[in-house]
A and B are shown apart, each in its own frame.
Chain A
Amino acid sequence: MSSYVIRRLLQGAGLLLLVSMIGFAILHLAPGGPLSQFAAGGDMTQEDLDRVAEQLGLNRPLPIQYLDWLWRMLQGDWGVSYRDQQPVLSVIGSHLGATLELMLTSTLLAMAIGAWVGILGAIRRYSLFDGLATIGAMIALSIPTFWFGLVVIYVFSVGLEWLPSGNRYTIGDESLANRIHHLIGPCMVLALVSTAVWSRYMRSSMLDVIHQDYIRTARSKGIPERRILIHHAVRNALLPMITITGLHLPTLLSGALVTETVFTWPGMGRLFLDSINYRDYPVVMGILMFTAVLVLLGSLLADLLYHVADPRLGANPT
C-alpha cells in the first residue's frame, strides 16, 4: 500500500515538473506582459519600465526565469503577486473559502439529484421520465454557462428581484441567510450542468449493472425489488462513480471560471481569470500548480477508494 502511494507520488512529481514547464512557457509566450498595463497608462517612461522589469527579473532569458521560479518553489516560496504584492499562497488562500462553499454545495446537489435521475432513468428505461431526463440533460449540457448565468440574473435578479445578482454576501451582512441567498443563483447554474453529467454517468452505469446475471440471481431468490436495486444494483453501479468523483475533486477547490465571473463570486476561478488578464505570472503559476496537485491527489484518492470499495481489486494496490 505505502509503496504504491510513494510510487504514485513520485510519478506525480515528474508530471508536476512537466506541467510547470509547459505552463510557464505558454504563459510567457502569450502576448503582452505584466509591464504592458504600466506602459498603457502612459505616465511611465521606458527607463521606468526597464527598471521594473529588472526588479521583477523579467529581463532575464526565459529558462533562467523558469529555473529561478522552480528553485524558489521547491523551497516553498510561491512568490509574490504583481498586482497587490501579497504572497501567492495567501492570495490563493483568501479565495479558497468562497470557491469551496460554492463548488461543494453545487456538487452535492448535482450528485444527489443526478444519481437519482440516472437510477430512475435506467430502471424505467425508455419511459416518459427517462425521455424527459435525457432531453433535459442534453439541453443542460448544450447551454453555454455564461448565457445561462446571465439569464438567471436577468430573470431572478433583474426581473423578479428574488435573488442578488452577484457577490458572496451583502457588505455588512454576513449572516448565514444572506450567504445562502447569494449562493442560490450561481449554485443553480453550476448544478445544472453537473446534474446532467452525473445523471448520464449514473444511468449508463446502472444500465450496465441491472442486466448482469447476479441481478437475475437476486430476483430468483425472491428478494424485494427495492433491496435488489439498492443492495445489489446501486452498490455495483456506484463503483465507476468513484473515479468520476475523484476526477471531479480538483474542481471543488479550483472553482468555476465562467460562473464565478458572471456572478462576481470571489473564488478561485475568477482569481485565475483576473490574474491572467493582469499577466500576474506568480499567481497564475501558483494556481496552475495548486490545481495540478489537486488533480493528481484526486485521482490517487479515487484509485485508493476503489480498492476499498471493490473487493475484486484487493485491499492492497500494487
Chain B
Amino acid sequence: MTQAPARPAAGEDDVLEVRGLNISFHTPAGEIPAVRDVSFRVRRGETLALVGESGSGKSVTSLGILRLTPKPPFCSISGQVLLRGRDGTMRDLVALPEAEMRGVRGRDAAMIFQEPMTSLNPVHRVGDQIAESIRFHEGLSRRAALGKAADLLDLVGIPDARRRLGAFPHEMSGGMRQRVMIAMALACEPRLLIADEPTTALDVTIQAQILDLLRRLQERTRMAVIFITHNLGVVAEIADRVMVMYTGRVVEQAAVRPLFRAPLMPYTRGLLRSVPRLDFAGLGREKLAAIPGTVPDPLEPPPGCSFGPRCGAFLPGSCDTAIPPLQEALPGHQVRCVRWSALTGEAA
C-alpha cells in the first residue's frame, strides 16, 4: 500500500481524470440525479476504491465512465471523462462519438462485473467470448485470437487453459467464471480496469483468490484500477485511495490509511463502525453499529447535507441550509461536511 497524494500536481501519470461528472436518469416520476458533480483521478498502477451503500451512485459512475448507462432519452451524462489513449493523449469520452467509444471499451478501458454467473453469455463457449474482443479490437483471426485467449486463461490461473476454451459458462464455478471475466477484460491490455463489485457474489476463500489475482495482474501490467465495493475489508486490502459516495456525491476522498485511521465524514465513520471488526484505530471497542435509517428518496432530497437525517452530529441551522462543499480538509483528504473540524475536535 503506497500513500499517494490524492491530487498530484502534474497529470502526466494520470490514466483517468473525471471532472464534474453528472448522470441523471429520466423516469416518468421525474429526473433522478444518480451522480452529481463527481471529480477524481486515477493514476497508472493505482487502485481507487469507490465505496458506498446501494444507491450511492458508485456503479452508475463506473458505467458512466464507459458510457454503458442507458441511451439519451432515458439517461444523460455531462461533465468530462478524460482517459489516456494508446497514443498518450487524454480524450474526453463524454464527447466521443459512439463508434469511437466502441474502440475504447474493452481496449483502453475494460470492466468486470459483480455477477460472474450471469455476466457470461450462456450459449457461447468461453474461449469465443474472450476471443471476441481480441478479434474485434486487434483484427486477429479466430484461430490467433483463441490462441491468445488460451494464454489469458493461463494468466488468470485456469488450469488446462487450452481445453477450457471450449467450455460453456455453466460448466464452470463462480470463481472460474470470474477469472474468465478478468481474462476477457485484460484481453487487449487496457490501461484502466473498472471492477464493479467483482468479489461480492463469491465465497470468501474465492474472494481472496480473485483479489490476489487482480493485485498480481496490476503489478504486472501497471494498469489503473477502479474497484467498486461496499466491503471495507476488501478496500483495506486492495486500495491505494478511497472515494466514499453518498446520494451520488463524493463525500470523502483520501488515501486508504488516513481514511481508515481518521475518517472525517460522519458517514464514513458510520460505514467503518458497521464493519464487523473491532480493531480499527480510533473506534476502540465500540459496539458494531448500523447507520440508522436509509438512503433518502432521490426525488425528495432533504435540505442541505443529504446525510443529515441519518447523521448523529446533525446540527440544525448549519447542516440543513445548503449542500456542503467538498473541501480539502487535510492535504490529499477531502470531505463534504461543514462540521468536520468541530467533530475531529470532539473526537480528539
Q: Which residues between 218 and 276 of chain A lie within 8 Å of chain B, taking CB atoms?
A: 218-224, 231-232, 235-236, 239
Any chain A CB within 8 A of the CB of B105? yes
- B-side contacts of A213, CB under 8 Å: 113, 115, 118-119
Q: Which residues between 146 and 160 of chain A lie within 8 Å of chain B, taking CB atoms?
A: none
Any chain B CB within 8 A of the CB of A38? no
A236 touches B106 (CB 8 A): no
B113 touches A216 (CB 8 A): yes
Supply 8 further A-B pairs (C-beta < 8 A) apart from A213-B118, A222-B102.
A214-B119, A217-B184, A219-B105, A221-B106, A222-B106, A222-B107, A223-B133, A232-B121
- A-side contacts of B168, CB under 8 Å: 311-312
Residue B123 contacts which of A219, A222, A311 (CB distance < 8 angstroms)? A311
B121 touches A236 (CB 8 A): yes
Q: Mark B94-116, 1 if CB is under 8 A from A, else 0.
A: 00000001111111001101010
Q: Mark B126-159, 1 if CB is under 8 A from A, else 0.
A: 0000001100110000000000000000000000
Any chain B CB within 8 A of the CB of A310? yes
Any chain A CB within 8 A of the CB of B34? no
- A-side contacts of B110, CB under 8 Å: 220-221
Residue among A213, A231, A309, A312 with max Cβ neighbours from chain B (10 Å): A213
Interface Cβ pair total, 8 Å cutoff: 75
- A-side contacts of B181, CB under 8 Å: 217
Any chain A CB within 8 A of the CB of B51? no
Residue B103 contacts which of A220, A222, A309 (CB distance < 8 angstroms)? A222
Any chain B CB within 8 A of the CB of A55? no
- B-side contacts of A312, CB under 8 Å: 122-123, 168, 170
A8 to chain B, nearest CB (A): 24
Any chain A CB within 8 A of the CB of B335? no
Residue A311 contacts which of B66, B132, B133, B170 (CB distance < 8 angstroms)? B170
Distance of A219 Cα from B121 Cα, bound (Å): 12
A165 to chain B, nearest CB (A): 47
Q: How large is the interface on A (under 10, 10 to 19, 20 to 34, 35 or more residues)?
A: 20 to 34
Distance of A217 Cα from B120 Cα, bound (Å): 7
Given A222-B102, A222-B103, A223-B102, A217:B121 Cβ within 8 A: yes
Any chain A CB within 8 A of the CB of B315? no
- B-side contacts of A45, CB under 8 Å: none
Any chain A CB within 8 A of the CB of B1? no
Residues of B participating in the A interface, judged by any CB pair closer than 8 Å = 66, 68, 101-107, 110-111, 113, 115, 118-124, 132-133, 136-137, 168, 170, 181, 184-185
Residues of A participating in the B interface, judged by any CB pair closer than 8 Å = 212-214, 216-224, 231-232, 235-236, 239, 309-312
B106 touches A220 (CB 8 A): yes
Distance of A214 Cα from B122 Cα, bound (Å): 8
Residue among A212, A219, A224, A232 with max Cβ neighbours from chain B (10 Å): A219
Q: Which chain B residue lies CB-closest to A216?
A: B68
21 contacts between A and B (CB under 8 A): A213-B113, A214-B122, A216-B68, A216-B113, A216-B119, A217-B113, A217-B119, A217-B120, A217-B181, A219-B105, A220-B66, A220-B110, A220-B185, A221-B133, A221-B136, A222-B105, A222-B137, A235-B123, A236-B121, A310-B122, A312-B170
A251 to chain B, nearest CB (A): 28
B68 touches A220 (CB 8 A): yes
A222 touches B121 (CB 8 A): no
- A-side contacts of B113, CB under 8 Å: 213, 216-217, 220
